[in-house]
Amino acid sequence: MSKYKNGGFTLIELLIVIGIIAILASAIIVVINPGRQFASARDATRNSHINSLYNSLISYQVANRGNWGEIDLPQELTEICNSNLESPDCTGLVDLSDLVDNGYINQIPLDPHAEGYGTGYEVAEASVILRAPLAETRFIGIGIVETEYAENGNGGEFNCGDDFTDNRDGNIYATVEIGGQCWFTEDLRYECDNFNDVGEDDATNWDGDGCAPQGDNYNGLLYQWGAVMDWDGEGDPPEEGSQGICPDGWIVPTDDDFKELEIGLGMSQSDADGTGYRGDQEGDMLKSDPEVEDWCHTSMDCATSGWEGLPGGYRHNHGYIINVGSSGRWWFSTEDGTGAWARHLHSTFSAVSRLSTAQNSGHSVRCLKN
């Protein structure tokens, strides 16, 4: 008998061959799919256009000493006018023709699917925001949060638990939903107008509504209450629950907002309404995993809420940062007499303290989804 088997395949061999053919066929279809390839090429063009517009706008702003000269940029994303036409009608559109007239760009670029007097591209003033809303295969934009981009299947509405990008400075914050509320799980890092880059023991430059870095290796900022509320001290302060220094769509939480969080973690209403250290384990529940030794008073309920409070310390109204590594304080937008309400977490307590403090002291900020 020959040691070689006669011609033909076994059933298993046939199935293997069929599987290989199917995989190869799928790969070939993907590779030669002309629609996908053309869409990808158009998106590459859009990306190049967006970057060209952005660079020319920034150069124009710098040349105009931080101003916009003849260009009127809106606060909300608005389509850019096709000012390349002989008689463009820019009504309701953004006219960037001054960029061409002054040599910052050769011509205003057009989206491959642009129609009429619009370019298909949108722009807004805040830190210069640009996007290509007609993009087909991916998100294309500068200075805009991808999770907020919901057109053409390129993204979706922001869902709590997603990372949130602050389009003012590009800082990214993790978020968490607790009892129906959506919170940042990190301290705000947006620099206020009176930002003071001083060391933790430097008491200088703390007059006015300022902010400064937390001590040691903590990367949040400590703010005076006026800076938190984006208030210059003139006239009446903003109402509690206002946006303040938080990004669009977020607010500086009220004292009652945090009571709601505490009660959801198990604190009684009467304890929540009290002052000083109240409740039982809620303070430890609000803390982060113990990156600092002995941050949690007990290990039983440490870091179980997802709020992730860190001991970045706080800045006394005389200017010095104190208790870094052992405590943290967070502002709320609710005033109390001459002060404002805050919460205090400390390594030697498993409860959480409610206190009213001087508005020229410096505490951390956590933003709450509006």
Domain that holds residue 86: 35-134
Q: Are residues 181 and 128 in the same domain?
A: no
Helices 34-63, 11-32: inter-axial angle, 10-degree rounding: 40
Residue 160 covered by a domain? no
Please report, as a single letter, which amino acid is at residue 272: A
Please report, as a single letter, which amino acid is at residue 119: T
Report the 10 Å Cβ neighbour count for 190: 18
Residue pair 131/80 in contact (Cβ under 8 Å)? The answer is no
Q: Are residues 351 and 250 in the same domain?
A: yes
Tell which of 104, 134, 164 closes a domain. 134
Confidence of residue 109 (pLDDT cuts 50, 70, 90): very high
* Total tally of structural domains belonging to the chain: 2
Does residue 130 surpass a pLDDT of 50? yes
The pLDDT score that the predictor gives to residue 312 is 92
Q: Are residues 93 and 226 in the same domain?
A: no
User: How far is CA 219 from its chain centroid?
Assistant: 15
DSSP string, 223-285: E-HHHHTT--SSSSPPPTT--TTSPTTEEPPPHHHHHHHHHHTT--HHHHHS-EEESSSHHHH
Q: What would the mean pLDDT of 101-118 be, rounded to a whole number?
A: 93
Residue pair 147/167 in contact (Cβ under 8 Å)? The answer is no
Please report, as a single letter, which amino acid is at residue 255: D
Q: Quick one: which H or E segment has residue 165? A: strand 164-165
Residue 184 covered by a domain? yes
Left, alpha or beta for 358 (phi > 0: left; psi -120 to 50: alpha)? beta
Residue 256 covered by a domain? yes
Model confidence over 208-223: pLDDT tens digits?
A: 888 989 887 788 999 9
Q: Are residues 115 and 53 in the same domain?
A: yes
Q: Are residues 186 and 74 in the same domain?
A: no
Confidence of residue 124 (pLDDT cuts 50, 70, 90): confident
Does residue 3 surpass a pLDDT of 90? no
Q: Are residues 124 and 271 in the same domain?
A: no
Q: Are residues 187 and 68 in the same domain?
A: no
Model confidence over 319-340: pLDDT tens digits?
A: 788 999 999 999 999 999 889 9
More confident residue, 296 or 200: 296
Q: Are residues 207 and 120 in the same domain?
A: no
Q: Are residues 129 and 185 in the same domain?
A: no
Cα-Cα end-to-end distance for the chain? 83
Residue 27 covered by a domain? no
The whole model's pTM is what? 0.60
Residues 6+ apart with CB under 8 A from 20: none
Q: Are residues 220 and 346 in the same domain?
A: yes
Tell which of 118, 134, 150 closes a domain. 134
The pLDDT score that the predictor gives to residue 33 is 57
Residue 9 covered by a domain? no
Residue pair 277/349 in contact (Cβ under 8 Å)? The answer is yes
Left, alpha or beta for 276 (phi > 0: left; psi -120 to 50: alpha)? left
Mean pLDDT of the residues in the chain: 84
Q: Are residues 240 and 351 in the same domain?
A: yes
Model confidence over 221-270: pLDDT tens digits?
A: 999 999 999 998 888 889 999 999 999 899 999 999 999 999 999 999 99
Q: Are residues 226 and 291 in the same domain?
A: yes
